[in-house]
Structure formats: C-alpha cells, structure tokens
Amino acid sequence: MAITKEQLDEYIKAYDQGHPLISDEEYDTLLEEYLKENGGESARPFNRQKQSADVNDIVGTLPKAYGVTEPWRPGQKTYKKWLDTNMKSHPALDQCKIILQPKFDGCSVALDFATGRFFTRGDYDNGESVDVTEVFQHHLEVVKSFARPGTTAMKFEAILSHEQFLHYALNLTYKRPRDVVSATITSRNIEMAQFITLVPLRGYVDGKQYIPKLLNEICEHVFADDFNSIGAFIKDRLAESATTKIFDQTFSIDGVVASINSESSTDPSTIFVDPELEVAIKILNDVKETTLRSIEYQFGKQGRITPVAIFDAVKFCDDKISVDHATLSTLDRVRSMELRHGDTIRIMYNIVPYFLESYHDGDYPIPLPTNCPICGAALDYNSGVIVRCKNPECKGLKLGAIIRHAEKMRMVGLGEGVLTKLYDNEFVTKIEDLYDLRKWDDCIAQTEGFGYTSYDNMVKSVDKALSEATLARFLGALPFNDTDEKTWSAVIRVLGDEPIIHAMIDGSFPEMILNAGYIPSVGKIKIQKIFDGYLRNKEEIQSLMSWIPEKLKPTTPWGAYAGRVCFTGFRDKDLEKQLVDNGYEVGGFTNDLKALIVKDKNFQSDKVSRAKKLNIPIYTPDEVPDNLFKPF
C-alpha cells in the first residue's frame, strides 16, 4: 500500500489546522510507509534523538484541574478540589504562595543546554524526542539569556502572536495561531520560524525547577486560600478574549498554570517551584446551545461501546471552529440524562467539545443499544458504567485486539486498513498470526492491493517491532482492558519478568497478581482488569508466552520493589542508577517515601520540612549505601 506525498501532506495539514483525519498512530504508520517507498530514512522530515535526563525531568504533561467558577463538568476535578487534596498531604502548603501564570496556547519545546539542541513532540518517558534544532537555532542566544547561571535545561512554549497571524494573512489558511506553529515545526519552515516567540516556562538548575525571570514579570502571586484573587485572575484573562500581552504582542492562552513556591531564593528574581504541586487550570467558559439530532454508538478496539452525540453544528473560537458531535463517554450518561431527539442542548468547548446538559424538550426518547453494533450479541449492562461486547467470537473484538497490538508494538505499515484486509482474507485472525506471516508469503503477495514488496515490508516491520520491544511493551499490547506499557512496567518492577512469564505459561498468574500486594501507581481496579484479561485470553496468552519472550529485549533490571526515594537540591546520576539497580523508584515527593536524599546535612527546602513532619528518613549520598543498599 503506497501513499503519496500529496496524501501525507493532506493529513499533516488537517492535523495542523486542528481537525486531524486520522489518529497519531495511523499517521506514524503512513509516514513510515511513505519513507519505505521514497528513499528510507533520508526522506524523513525529522529525526528522533536522545536528550539529557534533565530535559526529561523538566518536560512533561501537567495534571489538569478546572476553573474556580462555573460551568464545571459533573464530577470534574476542579482547582479547589485539587488544592484541598494537596493541602492535606502538604503540611506547609498553607504557608506557601501560589503563582498563577497564563497557559499559552502553542507547542512545547525544550532546550538541552549541554548540546544547544531543541526538542519537541517526543516520547520523553523513553528519553527520545524529535530534534527541531534547525527550526529554533536562531533563538539560541536570546533564550539562554533568560536562564540563571548553572541552568542545564529549559522548557518553552512556542507561540505566534495575533498580530503576526493577521499581518501575514495566515488566518485565510489556518484557524488559530497555534496551528501555524505546529505546521511550521512539522514542515521545518525556517523562514516562518523567525516570527515564532519562545516563552521560557521553567528552568532546571541543581535538580530544582524555577520560573525564569521573564515569566516572573507577567506572573501574579496570590495566597493559597485567596480564591477571589484566583477567580479574578482568570476572569481578567477571559475579559481579554483569553489572551495575554508580551512584548506588546497578543498571544492566545487556553488556561492558567498554578504553581507552589517551594522554597525561598537569595535571588529575588528567581522563584523555585515544586513540579509535584503544579496544575493546569483549564478555562471553561465557551458554551453554545444547539439541537440534538441523534446518538451514534462507536465500537472501540477493546469492545467498548461509546456514545457520540450528533447535533446541529455550532461555532467556537470566534467562529473559527465548527463542532457537530461530542462524545458522551459512557452509556450511563445517555441513560441518566434521559436524552430525546430534538433536545435543546448546551455544548461547552475547551480543546475538545463537551456535552454539558439538555433541556429535555425534544420529541421522543433516544433508546440505549441492546446489542453489539458489530456482531449483534446482547450487551451486558451489569459490569458498571463501561459497557463492552463480551462475545469472544465478535469480529470487532478480535480485529480490534489485533489492530491495537500492532499499534502498541509499533508495527510500522500495519495499520487498520492493512490488518482489516489480512483479517478478512483469514491470514491474521488472532494476535499470534502477526508473528507467523511467513507461512502465507505467496498468498498475501498475490492478494489484490498488496504485492511482494508490501508483504516483505510487513514481515520486516513485525520482526523489527519484536526486536525492539521490552516485555512491558509486549504485555501492554495484549488484550488486557485499559492496561498499558506503563502499568506493566510497574508490575514487572515488583514481580519480575521471568516469574511473570512462567506464571502466565503454567496458569498460576491469576493467583500471583492477586497476591502481589502494593504495586506503585497500580490500583485495585487495574489489578482486577489484569486478572480478568488473563482469564479471558488465557489460551492465546499462554501460546504467545511460550516462545515470544525469548525474542524480546531485556527488561530494565528488577528486584523486589524497595520503595520510592526522592532527591532534593541536587541530582547524582550515578547514585540514582545504583538506587534503581537496588529496586528503588526515583521520583517526586510522596508521603510514602522510603527516604529523601539531600546534598548535605545543612540543606533546607520545603521537601526537607515536609519529610521531617512525616518522619521520612533524610540521608546524604554518603549515608545511602549503609541505610538503603541492603539485601532484599
């Protein structure tokens, strides 16, 4: 299956303009397919490279809360709930200041000071990201001037001003300034990049994060309990059409970032913040009324039935974005809202549309589905708010599991269309068949739409994906509902890769996972899903485990989980590696820390104060071996 540059450009343009036609996974698959047909890696528009651990630490997605004024979604995590929760776990929080900053509507970029290279759109968890140095090289000296001495990494937001957006008539092609930024990065348009502003968001120095001086000048500081001031700050931004001014230019924002001032500094221009206590407050104020026409029921890869409301189109963001559908997440919402055809409904827009409420003035009730839209089997409503098709013979469920496995394993070129054709021709009817394509060589190659080149690319893609995958990625690609690679990494750290493999083969895995005890970041519900998934797919999992794991890359060293430790005031990469090798997880401050590690006995910080109040041991690097490096 060949894809032309024109087709690829069409997908890129749609994505950059805010209405993607395909998923990120499908785009990556098509890109790799294009590279194979057009000269390999030399045709790639970007390169993925490793960057420093400091860049990894400073770049990440902030947890989200929502405004201090209505409207709110039902059951939504509001800023007040976030603050109340964190005040309970942070004894000194009521003595700290909250720093409020605009949340710019652009694209995140990180600078590695050691190499002078810029990165964006990457898998920072794996330490591998897209190198965009060529786009932002001309910014290097200016952005370095924002940093205090000793800074090793800095996070920015790449944004375009409204003035530039209109001056160059970009509004005739793109809906929003952020779409231009995304397109500029994707296309590597050096000329257009000259007009992009890089606003410094966070600096990284001596293992601590700080707000750079430039951003300090546009920050507002309020006390933790001053909700009127917080609300006023957000309302001020909304009064300016959700924009803020920098350098006499107007920039869009889509929320507010709230940070906790974690410790004092001798430099009044530097504000240190605790990354564990930062949250993005999303602005929710754009609400429109329209008419509900119907509810469609989508079938997910894991058999989940998701209702989607179809309504008369309404426009948001100064009439630049048209919306005619919104997910309702669960069938329970359809039932509890008692929706009717022709209801007047309220839709709220915030990055994505949200179905807020109905006036129930329509003609006749919208019925809930009773049968799977793919196989017709009766749906079970007794399993909770998430309703799935549980028919083991359902084509949608089987094909969905295969498509999801290929996506999670990063099998380039094996997208939904290819796999559907392989499934319909009975070449791949279960996950294991993906790894045994060679038995169908001539048959696949002679099937309309394929050919020998396509067949060869499929086999190479499967082999490559398997050679690069860890056990965690492989397990995360199996049909365990809502359980990903990150979850399995945590499970493996506690139980070990070899014991898990053997237990899955001999059938003792259900007992193992139920008796595992505490697994960091993996709750009881997730454990139950792993348990259910194994029992539901036991035969296929046992078959795969009998030979696949031998071909996987070695997993990160593991042992009995020893607990989490946290550094404050400095970072020691060698010591961090020793801690990981001894079974510890190195991360942010939590109330169940095994130890807090400080540079020396005289070091003082907010984390030190919290550790003392919670009776968490505090060690210097010299004290770590005797106190933490013990036999399991």
Q: What is the pLDDT of residues 170-206, one digit of tens each?
A: 878 887 888 888 888 877 788 888 889 999 999 988 8
* Cα angle 313, 314, 316; round to 5: 140
Q: What is the DSSP letter of 388?
A: B
For residue 11, the model assigns a pLDDT of: 65
Give per-residue pLDDT as tens, 562-612: 788 988 877 787 898 888 878 788 877 777 789 999 988 888 776 888 888
For residue 208, the model assigns a pLDDT of: 82
For residue 618, the model assigns a pLDDT of: 95
What is the Cα–Cα distance from 281 to 83, expressed in whole angstroms?
11
For 292, residues 6+ apart whose C-beta sits below 8 A from its C-beta are: 309, 310, 311, 339, 340, 341, 342, 343, 344, 345, 358, 362
Give one DSSP letter per residue of 15-46, joined into a string: HHTT--SS-HHHHHHHHHHHHHHTTGGGG-S-
The strand pair at 197-205 and 64-66 is best described as unpaired
Residues of the chain with pLDDT under 70: 1-53, 57, 60-61, 66-77, 83-96, 121-128, 218-231, 235-241, 262-269, 283-285, 350-352, 383-385, 553-561, 606, 630-632
Place of tokens 């020998």: 452
What is the Cα–Cα distance from 421 to 334, expressed in whole angstroms?
34
Give one DSSP letter per residue of 324-372, joined into a string: EEEE-SSHHHHHHHT-BTT-EEEEEEESEEEEEEE---SSSBPPPP-B-
CB 584 within 8 A of CB 562: yes
Query: What strands, in cross-sheet order, belong to the sheet with 563-568?
Result: 584-586, 563-568, 595-598, 618-619
CB 62 within 8 A of CB 257: yes
Residue 86 structure tokens: 């964190």
For 407, residues 6+ apart whose C-beta sits below 8 A from its C-beta are: 25, 477
What is the Cα–Cα distance from 364 to 356, expressed in whole angstroms?
20
| Residue type for position 211 | I
Residue 172 structure tokens: 């005739």
Please give the model's pTM, rounded to 2 decimal places: 0.60
Q: Which helix (H) or strand (E) holds 235?
A: helix 227-239
The strand pair at 595-598 and 563-568 is best described as parallel
What is the Cα–Cα distance from 421 to 444, expressed in whole angstroms?
10
What is the Cα–Cα distance from 493 to 580, expressed in whole angstroms?
10
Give one DSSP letter per residue of 533-601, joined into a string: HHHHTHHHHHHHHTTGGGGSPPPPP--S--EEEEEES---HHHHHHHHHTTEEE-S--TT-SEEEESST
Residue 536 structure tokens: 């539901």
Place of tokens 């060869």: 456
Q: What is the DSSP letter of 479?
A: S
For 441, residues 6+ apart whose C-beta sits below 8 A from its C-beta are: 455
Residue 178 structure tokens: 């952020």
What is the Cα–Cα distance from 135 to 277, expressed in whole angstroms?
32
Q: What is the DSSP letter of 428?
A: -
For residue 539, the model assigns a pLDDT of: 92
CB 373 within 8 A of CB 381: no
For 142, residues 6+ apart whose C-beta sits below 8 A from its C-beta are: 198
What is the Cα–Cα distance from 382 to 510, expressed in whole angstroms?
23
For residue 349, the model assigns a pLDDT of: 75
